[in-house]
Amino acid sequence: MNLHAIRAIYRFEMNRTGRTLLQSVLAPVLSTTLYFVVFGAAIGSRIDEIGGVSYGAFIVPGLVMLSLLTQSVTNAAFGIYFPKFTGTIYELLSAPVSFLEIVIAYVGAAATKSILLGVIILMTATLFVPLRIAHPGWMIAFLVLTAVTFSLFGFIIGIWADGFEKLQIVPLLIITPLTFLGGSFYSIDMLPPFWQKVTLLNPVVYLISGFRWSFYGIADVSVAVSLSMTALFMVICLLAIWWIFRTGWRLKS
């Protein structure tokens, strides 16, 4: 394992975040704060408790997951796309660095950024609502597992994209809508029976449900199912990345 190469790529990616601090950290935190103000304070005061939890506190895990998913995908996608865009990807591929080391470095950096952002948002949430974490160990596990899984997904998108427009398509048109419809602001038990079944087709439901359970001990679906779905998606992403490096798809053309 070439730890020097992993560390060099990882540090470069983390330093790039420091150069774009306004876009990488402040903008997502500000957007999430506005959600707290609008949904938590303005609307939450008119909504009864959900599962014994105030509405303002109930939406915190969903808002954290919203930022975590979008930032994980975006960070990883841009991280690997820029070497392709500038042509330095060929130097990377010809260097004595395995595809596993490349993935660990880029995905590790993207996941680290997303986790730090999630922690900052959680700290910001405490300024607006009383927050309790019933299962802190599981909360950290869901946070890390989700960040790594969707960073892998973003890595695939960065390789697939052949323009900046395509980098925006999946986070804006797929990830964000699925998160909004995945129970970020409501419990799926509040939906009519038919739409409850339809909502279960949304994979983000399982992520948000499991993450919310780690806070308040309430969940829309089984925690075991949530972990299994996340692990399954991670395996699919790993297999896709292995195939990409094995065939050179979108890397050598």
Tokens of 100: 């596993």
Residue 40 lies in a domain: yes
pLDDT tens digits along 70-103: 999 999 999 999 998 888 888 888 888 899 999 9
Tokens of 146: 């989700």
Total residue count of the chain as it appears in this document = 253
Does the structure show a pLDDT above 90 at 237? Answer: yes
CA dist 59 and 44 (Å) reads: 9
Report yes or no: 226 and 239 within 8 Å, Cβ to Cβ. no
pLDDT tens digits along 171-192: 888 888 898 888 888 889 888 8
CA dist 253 and 250 (Å) reads: 6
Please state the rounded mean pLDDT for residues 216-242.
Answer: 93
Residue 235 lies in a domain: yes
| Residue 53 β-bridge partners | 50
CA dist 103 and 243 (Å) reads: 13
Tokens of 107: 């995905």
- Top mean pLDDT of 81-85, 120-124, 207-211 is at 207-211
Residue 243 lies in a domain: yes
Express the helix, strand and coil content of the chain in percent, nearest 5 each. 80, 0, 20
Residue 86 CA neighbour count, 13 Å, CB half: 9
Residue 60 lies in a domain: yes
Residue 173 lies in a domain: yes
pLDDT at res. 44: 66
Task: Quickly tell me which residue has 């950096």 as its tokens.
Answer: 109
Say how many domains are in the chain: 1
pLDDT at res. 40: 67
Q: Nearest 5°: CA angle at 31, between 168 and 105?
A: 50
Please state the rounded mean pLDDT for residues 213-228.
Answer: 93
Please, is 58 exposed, middle or buried when counting C-beta atoms within 10 Å of its C-beta (0-12, 13-18, 19+)? buried
pLDDT at res. 190: 86
Residue 58 lies in a domain: yes
Average pLDDT, the chain: 88
Q: What are phi and psi of 166, to 5 degrees?
A: -70, -25
Q: What are phi and psi of 53, to 5 degrees?
A: -115, 135
Residue 163 lies in a domain: yes
Please state the rounded mean pLDDT for residues 208-233.
Answer: 93
Report yes or no: 129 and 56 within 8 Å, Cβ to Cβ. yes
Tokens of 73: 């995908």
Does the structure show a pLDDT above 80 at 43? Answer: no
Residue 253 lies in a domain: no
Report yes or no: 204 and 178 within 8 Å, Cβ to Cβ. yes
Confidence of residue 253 (pLDDT cuts 50, 70, 90): low
Structural domain for 197, as ranges: 3-247
Please state the rounded mean pLDDT for residues 123-128.
Answer: 86
